[in-house]
Amino acid sequence: MLWVGWRQQRTEALIVASVIALLAALMIPTGIHLANVYDHDGVAACVTSESESCNTVLMVFQDRFHGLTSLFNWLQLLPGMLGALLAAPLVLELEQRTYRLAWTQSITRRRWLATKLALLGGAAIVAAALLTVLISWWRGPVDEIEGRFSENAFSFEGIVPYAYMLFAAALALAAGVVIRRAAPAFAIALIGFFAARIVVTNSLRPHFMDPVVKLLNKPPSGSLHDAWVLSGPSLVDRHGNPPARALVYQCLGPGAHVAGQAKQVPIECLSKLGLVTRVEYHPASRFWTFQWIEAGLFVGVSAALVAFAAWWILKRVN
């Protein structure tokens, strides 16, 4: 049964492997070059420094590789596409009704279903592992500068890529057992995956934990370079309220732009006026906590979708 299942799964598995291999062919040479530039230009020593020379080094480095790092914006749907693709063989069996042959060969529905789900889950985990290792290695120097809370890092590192892949596969499977059409199920999985990611990223993730709020006598230093800053830095009074424009004009001078420009205001003048810099953020130390919370959320939904698909196959498929 395992051998038959693998033969049915191998085409999609080879497509997924080919996609990852193409990505590796692009990222391995560029990743080596990126790491060499990072070491040669002494970028590591400038990560937490606030000197003008270091700011220039960081800016030049980021600008130099901006085109490559922005590539990850186009890869956000990749775990969803690969996960849904891996679910296609099982959905195709339901569409073409070839499962009936297995069920008449002394193979029970439960055994057939357990084998299919094991192959699907195993393939999704292997694909997610390869993708995660590759991208985490490539982004190593970039993460030192930007932190791992940036969307392009958080979505491809840690354990959430595994959860994303399983969720997309489970969603495609749940849709497929109901409509019994592989192409519409694939489309539903992609749309659902994209919608779920938007909701979790923008509405849920910022509230996994209460953010840290700091009122500083000066703009935040480089220690927050790897944190997830939700708001700020902005000027407020000691009670956290925005200051009157006329008050800040005393430091900035006539005609100056006020809103949120804490770094442009002389620190000594701010202190005399009783103004501070407010910043709201999640520290970098929460990365793995957020990873576990988000992964648990997607895995929990995936388990519910797989349970629904299993119930549908066992009770309603003839």
What does the pLDDT look like over 173-186, one tens digit per residue?
A: 999 999 989 899 99
Quote the CA–CA distance of 13 and 298 in Å, as a whole number: 22
Q: Which residue has the higher pLDDT, 267 or 212?
A: 212
The rounded mean pLDDT for the chain is 83
CA 228 vs CA 16, 55, 175, 316: distances in Å: 32, 20, 35, 47
Q: Which residue has the higher pLDDT, 268 or 310?
A: 310
Q: What is the pLDDT of residue 258?
A: 46
Extents of the domains making up the chain: 2-203+286-316, 212-284
Q: If pLDDT is split at 50, 70 and 90, which confidence band does 105 have?
A: confident
Q: Which residue has the higher pLDDT, 140 or 52?
A: 140
Quote the CA–CA distance of 269 and 253 in Å, as a whole number: 11
SS3 at position 65? coil
Q: Which residues pair with 231 in a beta bridge?
A: 280
Q: What is the pLDDT of residue 267?
A: 60
